[in-house]
């Protein structure tokens, strides 16, 4: 595989062992997730699936930020605690991910379950000379001193002037404008939201960046292979995270930093602050949304519009109908006990092309190859042999499994003798133009979960779950 490494600013061949450890930054649990979030988690879900397809054992960690300024603010506004707010939106997020067929990571740690680990980490940074304490009227803050880490800025590629301009934590007591908070002293709103934790620096809560350094190293060790997230996390979050982890462990903490681009509307980034979001929960069909999110290369923006969604829906339905047609034909040949000579159909060439596309995580190319297979299947559906049809079905479902489409699909069964006799009886009724009897048989079979489909090649059937 060759993917773009944000740290080295080039496409690199991934040199991976049997086990691949991957960390992806999760949500800050203060609101419903939108399809910009969905793009990140769908992409890394597909990356995980493809790595597993290639024989790797993937250990996947994704955190929940369940204490944060935005969570505290919403808790105070609604008269709730930080824990009540975060639990609501973690639950909603998990529901959204299920809707999108995103598999659960191996570990999904919450920040508030690891406060002691975070405190230990901050203490160690102070001991090593990378962090310092600043007292104020509320207690004590702890900052990471950016100039103490020589490699700061390498991940984002920002110049010193750019780094100075981008800091958003003004505090005249900081040693440098770029320094960022590791621990924040508790303010009145923190107490109101029950978002305070005891520490050597008094009551307070962690800064945002420290949590991912702590959680990734706790669950994956250092170094680990892949760290992912949206492009907006490169700076300051991942830049700061890299600095903290390198300072503690003395080695480059991550081999490959991988980031995907934004979902846009009219060319503008989708974000809650701009108010131009489309929430996952409001989208009626999760698999169509998932398909849409795979239609652009992960390093390119993906523009959302009603027309682009409609195109995705049509393309998705074409693949879905091809899967049904293919499976129905296989079931019919098996049920009737017939076969054909075949046409020497080479389905494996599609698999080779698909793997080539996926080796660079070029999902739009992979989808194009998927459609090429579907077109060839539809052209040759009634002339392929049973073994050719089964090989096409195997490769078709391999593609869908890697891309996370058509989850839960169940094979159309070979009909038992009693149902087959009803199908034959209905065929006779149709030939005799006794359509009332034919319709009664159709309804009887429908009650047993079998939907009959009349084709130019005779009766086929499907199960009504799909």
CA 318 remoteness from chain centre:
23
β-bridge partners, 12? 3
pTM: 0.95
Instruction: Tell whether the model's pLDDT for residue 145 goes beyond 70.
Output: yes
Q: How many CB atoms lie within 10 A of CB 33?
A: 23
Comparing 75-84, 162-171, 282-291, 352-361, the range with the smallest average pLDDT is: 162-171
Q: What does the pLDDT read at residue 259?
A: 98
Q: Per the structure block, which two tokens stand in for 107?
A: 């570990």
Q: What tokens were used for 320?
A: 């879905």
- Can you give the residue ranges of every domain in the chain? 2-304, 307-403, 417-463
β-bridge mates for residue 180, sequence order: 144
- Contacts for 197 with CB less than 8 Å, ≥ 6 apart: 112, 115, 203, 204, 205
Residues 157-178: pLDDT tens digits?
998 778 877 655 677 889 999 9
Is the confidence at residue 69, as pLDDT, over 70?
A: yes
- Rounded CA separation 379/280 (Å): 36
Radius of gyration of the chain (CA): 27
Q: Tokens 């503008």 correspond to what residue?
A: 268
Residues 395-433 have pLDDT tens digits of 999 999 999 999 989 999 899 999 999 999 998 999 899
pLDDT of residue 166: 67
The confidence band for 21, taking pLDDT boundaries of 50, 70 and 90, is very high
- Averaged over 214-240, what is the pLDDT? 97
Distance (Å, rounded) from C-alpha 87 to C-alpha 66? 8
Whole-number Å distance between alpha carbons of 201 and 204: 8
Identify the CATH number of the domain defined by range 307-403. Answer: 1.20.120.640
Q: CA 194, CA 48: separation in Å to the nearest integer?
A: 37
Count CB atoms within 10 A of the CB of residue 301.
17
pLDDT of residue 465: 62
In whole angstroms, give the CA distance from residue 281 to residue 92: 8
CATH architecture of 2-304: 3-Layer(aba) Sandwich (3.40)
Q: When comparing pLDDT for 96 and 284, which is higher?
A: 96
- In sign, the C-alpha dihedral spanning 216, 220, 221, 227 is negative
The encoded tokens of residue 88 equal 């609501």
Which residue shows structure tokens 């600043």? 134
């Amino acid at each position: 595989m060759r993917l773009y490494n944000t740290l080295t600013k080039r496409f690199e061949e991934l040199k991976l062992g049997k086990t691949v450890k991957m960390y992806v930054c999760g949500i800050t649990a203060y609101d419903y997730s939108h399809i910009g979030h969905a793009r990140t988690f769908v992409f890394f879900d597909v990356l995980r699936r493809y790595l597993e397809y290639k024989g790797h054992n993937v250990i996947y960690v994704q955190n929940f930020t369940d204490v944060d300024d935005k969570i505290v603010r919403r808790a105070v506004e609604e008269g709730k605690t930080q824990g009540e707010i975060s639990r609501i939106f973690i639950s909603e997020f998990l529901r959204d991910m299920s809707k999108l067929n995103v598999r659960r990571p191996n570990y999904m740690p919450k920040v508030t379950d690891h406060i002691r680990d975070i405190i230990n980490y901050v203490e160690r940074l102070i001991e090593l000379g990378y962090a310092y304490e600043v007292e104020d009227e509320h207690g004590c803050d702890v900052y990471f001193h950016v100039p103490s880490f020589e490699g700061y800025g390498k991940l984002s590629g920002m110049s010193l002037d750019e780094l100075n301009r981008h800091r958003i934590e003004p505090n005249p007591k900081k040693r440098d404008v770029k320094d960022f908070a590791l621990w924040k002293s508790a303010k009145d709103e923190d107490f109101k939201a029950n978002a305070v934790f005891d520490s050597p620096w008094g009551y307070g809560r962690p800064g945002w960046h420290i949590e991912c350094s702590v959680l990734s190293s706790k669950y994956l060790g250092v170094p680990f292979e892949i760290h992912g997230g949206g492009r907006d996390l490169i700076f300051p979050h991942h830049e700061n995270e890299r600095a903290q982890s390198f300072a503690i462990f003395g080695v480059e903490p991550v081999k490959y930093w991988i980031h995907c681009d934004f979902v846009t509307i009219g060319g503008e980034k989708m974000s809650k602050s701009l108010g131009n979001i489309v929430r996952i929960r409001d989208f009626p069909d999760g698999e169509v949304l998932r398909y849409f999110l795979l239609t652009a290369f992960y390093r390119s923006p993906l523009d959302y519009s009603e027309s682009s969604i409609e195109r995705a829906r049509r393309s998705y339905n074409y693949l879905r109908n091809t899967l049904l047609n293919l499976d129905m034909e296989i079931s019919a040949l098996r049920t009737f006990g017939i076969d054909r000579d075949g046409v020497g159909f080479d389905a494996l060439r599609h698999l080779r092309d698909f793997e080539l596309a996926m080796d660079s995580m070029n999902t739009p190319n992979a989808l194009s190859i998927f459609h090429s297979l579907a077109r060839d299947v539809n052209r040759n559906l009634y002339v392929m042999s049973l073994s050719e049809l089964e090989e096409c079905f195997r490769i078709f479902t391999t593609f869908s499994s890697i891309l996370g489409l058509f989850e839960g699909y169940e094979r159309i069964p070979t009909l038992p003798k009693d149902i087959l006799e009803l199908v034959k009886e209905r065929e006779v009724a149709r030939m005799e133009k006794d359509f009332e009897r034919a319709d009664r048989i159709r309804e009887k079979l429908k009650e047993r979960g079998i939907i009959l489909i009349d084709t130019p090649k005779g009766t086929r059937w499907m199960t009504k779950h799909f």
